[in-house]
Structure 1
Amino acid sequence: MKFWLMKSEPGEFGIDDLEKRPGQTEHWDGVRNYQARNMMRDEMQPGDQVLFYHSNCETPGVVGIARVARSAYPDHTAFDPNDKHYDPASDPAKPRWFMVDVQFVRKLERTISLSELKDRPELEGLALVRRGNRLSVMPVSEGQWQFILSLE
C-alpha cells in the first residue's frame, strides 16, 4: 500500500462532495500534468490511502482521507469537447490522460493547514511544502502520513 496527497479546489469538488457519496466512488478527473498522470497511471493501486487536500481557498490544507478504489483508466473528460477538461490531442484509441476512482474514508477533525505543514521540520522532504510545487497528485511516505495525521 502506498500513500498519496491529492489536491482539489473545494469550489470544484471538495471533501464534502465526496462525503455525500458514502460507500460509492468518484472519478478523479481533469489531471493535466504528465508527472501526476504518470503517478496515477503507473503507481496508484486500489487500497492506497489518500490525504484529501483543499487548495486555492482561504485556508489550504489537508481536510480528509480517501482511498483509491480503482486503478487508472482513460479520463473520458479529455474526449468531450463540451467538458472544461477537453484535450483535442487526446485520442480514445491512444489516451493521453488517465484518472482513478477514489472513495471517502473520513473527514479530519480539523484542517491541517499548509502553513502548519510548512513549519514542521519533520515534513521537510514532503513535495507539498517545496517551493513552486504545482502537482495535484503527489506521493507521501508512510512516516509523513503518520506525522500529518498525528497533528489532527
Structure 2
Amino acid sequence: MAYWLLKSEPDVFGYQDLERVGKEPWNGVRNYQARNHLRAMQEGDLAFFYHSNSNPPGIAGICRIARSAYPDNLQFDPDSKYFDPKSTEDNPRWSMVDVVPVRPLPFLSLDTLRGLPELEDMPLLKKGTRLSVMPVTADEWQAILKHAGVEDADFLSAPAR
C-alpha cells in the first residue's frame, strides 16, 4: 500500500463534501508531475485530504483510493475549464482516480505539521512545492497519525465504498 496527500480548496470541495457524497472522482489535475502521481495510485491506497488555500491550511481527513487512474473526463469537455484540445480519447493526457472517505482527523494545520521533526523532509513542507497530489512516506504517514492520536489499525480494514 502507498500513501498520498491530495489537496483541495475546502470552499470548492472539502473533506465534509467527500463524506456527504461518499465517492468522488479526483479530476481537474493539470500538472504533469501530479498527474504521474495519480497514475501511480492503486485501489486501496490511502491519502490525507488536505485543505489548501484556507485559513489555516491543513489535513482534515483520510480517504482511500477506490479506483485507480483512468482518463479524466473533463479534458474532453469543451465547456470545462479543464478542457485540453490536445487530448484525445485515443491518447488522453490527463488522469483521475476515485476517492472515498475513510475518517476525519483532528485538523492538523500546516504550522502544526511544520513543527513535527519527523516531517522535515516532507515535500509538502518544502518552500515552492505546490503540487496538488504528492506521495507520503510510510514514516511520514505514521508520524502524522501518531500526532493526530490515531492508530493505523483503526481504518486499515475499512472497505472502499
- TM bucket (normalised to shorter chain) is over 0.9
Q: What is the distance in 2 between the residues matched to 1:33 and 1:5?
A: 15
Matched, 1:126 2:122: yes
Shift of 1:130: 0.5
What is the root-mean-square deviation of aligned Cα atoms in Å?
Answer: 0.9
Matched, 1:114 2:110: yes
Q: Pick from 64, 67, 90: which aligns with 2:64?
A: 67
Q: Pick from 90, 93, 102: which aligns with 1:93?
A: 90
Unmatched segments (≥5 aa) in structure 2: 149-161
Q: What is the distance in 2 between the residues matched to 1:87 and 1:12?
A: 21
The answer to whether the Cα contact below 8 Å between 1:21 and 1:104 also exists between their aligned partners in 2 is no
- C-alpha deviations, 1:21-50, integer Å up to 9, x for none? 24xx21000000101111111x20000000
Equivalence for 2:43: 46
Q: Following superposition of structure 1 onto structure 2, how do residues 71-86 of structure 1 map, counting pairs within 5 Å?
A: 71-86=68-83
* Aligned residue identity for 2:91: K
The ranges of structure 1 where at least 4 consecutive aligned residues each deviate by more than 4 angstroms after the TM superposition are none
Equivalence for 2:27: 29
Q: What is the distance in 2 between the residues matched to 1:107 and 1:84?
A: 30
* Aligned residue identity for 1:47: G
Q: What is the distance in 2 between the residues matched to 1:151 and 1:39?
A: 25
TM-score, length-normalised on structure 1? 0.94
TM-score, length-normalised on structure 2? 0.89
Unmatched segments (≥5 aa) in structure 1: none
User: Would you say how many aligned residue pairs link Structure 1 and Structure 2?
Assistant: 148
* Aligned residue identity for 2:146: S
